[in-house]
Amino acid sequence: MKRIPIRRSCGPCEACCAVLSVDEIGKSAEATCPHQLSLLETSGPQDRTSGCSVYATRPLGCRTFQCLWLAEADPKLQKYARHRKAPRLFGPSDRPDLSGLVFHAPAVGAPAMVSVVREVWPGVSETEAGRGLIERYSARRVVVLICGDRRTLFGPSEELEKVTELLGLSKRKEG
Ligand code: SF4
Ligand code: SF4
């Protein structure tokens, strides 16, 4: 079956500003970015943000970051996924400011097979929609949910065995 290419852009989403660390400005994942004009509130997708006050000169880490929702629309990755007949992992409503979950590639030094997911607002990973999205993603690959100091691993059983041993993390789901 012919696959129609997808196009995506961040649009009004600024979820990564709220949950990721930016070394250049000393921002930790938990810290508020001083340049985010209006922060994401913690109650859900209806609360909007309104931009970066230093957008034109924002750090390289901010310029180059792509969450996995956005990266899935990269033409090269789409070509690769088509070639491998890999199913799409995300839909339009999974954009991080709507789903409340930011999936991203592992940090430098972490095993390449483990993606990361972070909550935009606390508790969203425990909602039906949040759990559903994590389960859909982790049916095919390993992902670690980071909530403060807590790390929880999801993924297919054979992959989980390897990663759990490697990282000493708690295993949450076998699929
Ligand atoms: S979380 Fe993804 S979609 Fe949202 S602003 Fe960041 S890169 Fe764009
Ligand atoms: S500097 Fe701007 S783009 Fe970077 S995290 Fe802060 S608000 Fe977001």
What is the 3-state secondary structure of the chain?
A: CCCCCCCCCCCCCCHHHHHCCEHHHCECCCCCCCCECCCCCCCCCCCCCCCECCHHHCCHHHHHCCCHHHHCCCHHHHHHHHHCCCCCCCCHHHCHHHHCEEEECCCCCCCCCEEEEEECCCCHHHCHHHHHHHHHHHCCCEEEEEECCEEEEECCHHHHHHHHHHHCCEECCCC
Within-domain flag for 2: no
Nearest-CA residue for ligand 2 atom 2 is 52
Within-domain flag for 5: no
Within-domain flag for 3: no
Lowest mean pLDDT among 11-25, 28-42, 101-115, 134-148: 28-42
Q: How many Å lie between the centroid of ligand 1 and the Cα of residue 10?
A: 5
Residue 42: band (very low, low, confident or very high) from pLDDT cuts 50, 70, 90: very low
Across residues 92-102, what is the average pLDDT?
A: 95
Within-domain flag for 65: yes
Within-domain flag for 4: no
- What domain range is 156 assigned to? 15-171
Q: How many Å lie between the centroid of ligand 1 and the Cα of residue 93?
A: 13
65 close to ligand 2 (CB < 6 Angstrom): no
pTM of the model: 0.84
Within-domain flag for 40: yes
Number of structural domains the chain divides into? 1
Within-domain flag for 124: yes
What per-residue confidence (pLDDT) applies to 52?
85
What per-residue confidence (pLDDT) applies to 53?
84
Within-domain flag for 72: yes
